[in-house]
Amino acid sequence: MARRKLHTIENIIVEITPPCLEGALFPRYDRETDYVTLDSLILPPCPYGVNIDNIIIPDFNSHRMLASVENGIPRKLWESDELPILPAAVQEGSLTLANPDIENSNFMIPPEFAVYTTPDRQTGVLRFGKFDTPLILVQLSVACQAIVSASKVVGFLFELPEGARKIHRRRR
């Protein structure tokens, strides 16, 4: 039986490209599963998938542009703490996969992995790589920024829509 090859997150190299609608990601909260995904409004087929231990799954469209990110950590398990300090300067753009050899690859979850949130669980930081300086924040939409370090996407900063504030419904 062939063993699947696991890469480290450092193998995922991205280019910051001009902003466009298909590269604009927006957070979406699913109350039923308690998961948050980052999705493009235009979700074409995504032949390029990166599977990070079945926890984080970024998908890239046929132009190798980041089109969605699945986060397999339920919102109720996010660490409610201060968010990491991030640079104030933001660059508008989209992210394109630069690795020619990555189509559907499996990656190991790095030790830096965490999901941080504010006490109201409205704003979150999904971290799956080293926050080495200098960090670049790439504005993917009004509600989502990619965190890039040395041409590697290492996380996302996102703000959930108003309707996602309540986590659990109260029974009367």
Whole-structure pTM value: 0.86
Q: Please state, as a whole number, how many other Cβ atoms lie within 10 Å of the Cβ of residue 123.
A: 16
Extents of the domains making up the chain:
6-162
CA distances from 58 to 50, 69, 162 (A): 5, 4, 24
Residue corresponding to tokens 């989502």 = 144
CB 25 within 8 A of CB 38: yes
User: What beta strand segments (E) does 11-170 contain?
Assistant: 14-17, 25-30, 35-40, 48-52, 56-60, 66-71, 79-80, 90-92, 94-97, 104-107, 114-117, 123-127, 135-141, 144-149, 152-159
**CA 127, CA 56: separation in Å to the nearest integer?**
10
Indicate the residue type of 130.
Answer: K
- Contact predicate 29/164, CB 8 Å: yes
d(CA 96, CA 67): 9
Q: For the chain, give the percent of residues with pLDDT over 70.
A: 85
pLDDT for residue 7: 55
Pair of tokens at residue 43: 């979700």
Query: What are the pLDDT digits (tens) for 102-147?
Result: 666 777 777 788 899 998 888 999 998 888 878 999 999 999 999 9
